A and B are shown apart, each in its own frame.
Chain A
């Protein structure tokens, strides 16, 4: 092989090695997390797949629902009830109503927001209409559920959580 080609092949191998290095960062990161306690995979998994276990009947937390529409498309969007009193650790379900006021099918995507933002880790949605885009036929109206529970470990000073959705028209016509 000519030296030029040998060098090109060697550099290609360096690139392949760098590709491998990207994947090597995965176990490396896990080791780093184990050492520092940051990004603990087990804790993350617990938060993201949380199921209600212990109920704490000694307190009630108010959960308020807000619905917002940006000025895109033509929709009606609101919660069925304005707020609920919930027992931490117990699974609840709440409904939101969306109504496509246009004369064509349209797809919306709800983006959730929780206030105060510090309690986000203590508010678990086990099922939510915001997990997937929602398709509506022309003029269709329907109720969409969100199932949630409040973590019993919620700091004592929090007595009120606001769950707000903004419902975006994704402009996907079909």
Chain B
């Protein structure tokens, strides 16, 4: 068999992992080592950001101020978002890209291994700096993760630190994205044509282009805020002829594509898991590719739906409302394709499939509330309320995060060579799926009833649903410790996983041995192997 031959070859390879911590990890150039570091880093950030979320939910458990003062509460909402988005989600996706893309396209490694090392190692320093703001006079940034001026310009000692940290995160993800594009465009095995690529690779390719186009725009906005603060420019200061609303336009020109940066790879993961456990090829592979590309394109022309209330011409409101709603079309195509893939399939419900199905249902709920928010006149009521909080947490937690968990459960046996305890993983699933709804669903009601976001205290009429939501938060948070334990014990040992791991896997990564050899495809896979992999679609 082609894949076991390859595995033997890798064993005899002189380029196994280097010995010594510094050689192997600090100077890492191997895509799997770097991918692992990204994933471990992201996991750590998820725990830190999650702890911050629990501080928020503890304070909101009952009305009144119990545990923290308002300033620190605002720091928590701000830092929770920054840590989760830039420290958790984005590095987790980059880690998965590092691990899977070379294996999926038949390449030995990423195209630019040293650049890869650099883009990872920027991150720990960026987050050390960001988290250090918790200990400076005046505390961590508290003006919201969107760093709106003029409020952000009034920040104290945390201001230069958080701005510098955001710049570093931006550079890290731009370099990571360049690496992904160059790898996909140049390192594919002969015979791995673009329209044979697995969906995860496809959606990451589109994500990488989004990153290169919008992360620098965020860097521009941050630079302008910095020069406003230190060098007397007045980009966003009305007194000097600038306009704070301009900042919002620039920020959300980055901010909306950013949400697709977080969710497109999730679409890719789900598009691989659902066919595997439905034992059917993905329905409408090409339409999936085109839907992802059109979502990527549309994401550039909808940004002002985040700021309907700042005042804009009617034509502008109409434009941004209609383009936003248009995104529902390609997204609907995707949901339709996933459902149709499952239709009359021989479904089994292993942990990755459970998370993928939950993604399908719950992400769609987040999509629907997004459509409600897109309706300009309705948005005037929902704006800055807990309804918005419920909306974006539905797309990010049971959306993007569930997809990350599904991806880990799907590929972990391939990475470690061991099968994890599936019974416990199913417990992890049911606890997560139940508590995530207890946590976020009531927030829809709170928002519609008028509870604003980013407040440490609230009117007593909101007490009951806040208590329910907080119970959900602690349940969900502690359930994730099970996930941490499952991963650690799976890496350490356990039942040996077969090369194909699951019953009906398609794709080049499954043609490699488990655990995957240190260098993936030192000789490119043959056409026959590639074709066997792509019969999945």
Chain A residues within CB distance 8 Å of chain B: 3-4, 7-8, 11-12, 14-23, 25-26, 29, 33, 36, 38-39, 41, 44-45, 47-49, 70-73, 133, 168-174
* Contacts A38-B313, A41-B242, A168-B71 known; 19 new A-B pairs at CB < 8 A: A7-B181, A8-B182, A11-B177, A12-B178, A14-B212, A18-B215, A19-B220, A25-B217, A26-B235, A36-B312, A36-B313, A38-B311, A39-B311, A45-B240, A70-B69, A72-B69, A73-B69, A171-B71, A173-B137
Q: Chain A residues with Cβ under 8 A from B218's Cβ?
A: 22
24 CB contacts below 8 A, A to B, read A4-B182, A7-B186, A8-B179, A8-B182, A11-B181, A15-B215, A17-B216, A18-B214, A19-B220, A20-B220, A22-B218, A22-B219, A25-B253, A36-B313, A38-B313, A39-B311, A41-B238, A45-B238, A45-B241, A70-B69, A70-B70, A71-B64, A133-B156, A169-B69
Q: Does B463 contact A (CB under 8 A)?
A: no
> Are A71 and B65 CB-contacts (below 8 A) given A15-B212, A26-B246?
yes
Contact partner, A8, options B112, B245, B246, Cβ 8 Å: B112
> Are A7 and B185 CB-contacts (below 8 A) given A45-B239, A72-B69?
yes
A14 to B177, CA, bound (A): 12
A67 to B253, CA, bound (A): 39
A7 to B245, CA, bound (A): 36
> Are A171 and B139 CB-contacts (below 8 A) given A39-B246, A71-B65?
yes
Q: Does B350 contact A (CB under 8 A)?
A: no
Q: Does B221 contact A (CB under 8 A)?
A: yes
Please tell me if the beta carbons of B186 and A3 are within 8 angstroms of each other in the complex. yes
Chain B residues within CB distance 8 Å of chain A: 64-65, 69-72, 111-112, 115, 137-139, 156, 174, 177-179, 181-182, 185-186, 212-221, 223-224, 235, 237-243, 245-246, 249-250, 253, 311-313, 316, 457
Contact partner, B178, options A15, A21, A71, Cβ 8 Å: A15
Q: Chain A residues with Cβ under 8 A from B253's Cβ?
A: 22, 25
Give the distance to chain A from B55, nearest Cβ to Cβ, in Å.
Answer: 15
A163 to B69, CA, bound (A): 24
Main secondary structure of the interface of B (DSSP, over half): helix
Please tell me if the beta carbons of B216 and A22 are within 8 angstroms of each other in the complex. yes
A172 to B72, CA, bound (A): 11
A164 to B319, CA, bound (A): 38
A109 to B72, CA, bound (A): 14
By beta carbon, the residue of chain B nearest A24 is: B220
Give the distance to chain B from A9, nearest Cβ to Cβ, in Å.
Answer: 9
A21 to B221, CA, bound (A): 11
By beta carbon, the residue of chain B nearest A46 is: B238
Please tell me if the beta carbons of B65 and A25 are within 8 angstroms of each other in the complex. no
A4 to B110, CA, bound (A): 11
3 interchain residue pairs of minimum CB distance: A22-B220, A19-B216, A18-B216
A38 to B311, CA, bound (A): 8
Interface centre among A20, A71, A171 (most CB of B within 10 A): A171
By beta carbon, the residue of chain B nearest A43 is: B238
Give the distance to chain A from B533, nearest Cβ to Cβ, in Å.
Answer: 24
A105 to B478, CA, bound (A): 39
Please tell me if the beta carbons of A19 and B242 are within 8 angstroms of each other in the complex. no
Please tell me if the beta carbons of A70 and B65 are within 8 angstroms of each other in the complex. yes
> Are A25 and B137 CB-contacts (below 8 A) given A12-B178, A48-B238, A171-B71?
no
By beta carbon, the residue of chain A nearest B171 is: A15
Q: Chain A residues with Cβ under 8 A from B245's Cβ?
A: 39
Give the distance to chain A from B153, nearest Cβ to Cβ, in Å.
Answer: 12
A133 to B531, CA, bound (A): 67
By beta carbon, the residue of chain B nearest A70 is: B70
Give the distance to chain B from A155, nearest Cβ to Cβ, in Å.
Answer: 18
Give the distance to chain B from A112, nearest Cβ to Cβ, in Å.
Answer: 13
Give the distance to chain B from A120, nearest Cβ to Cβ, in Å.
Answer: 14
A25 to B111, CA, bound (A): 34
By beta carbon, the residue of chain B nearest A22 is: B220
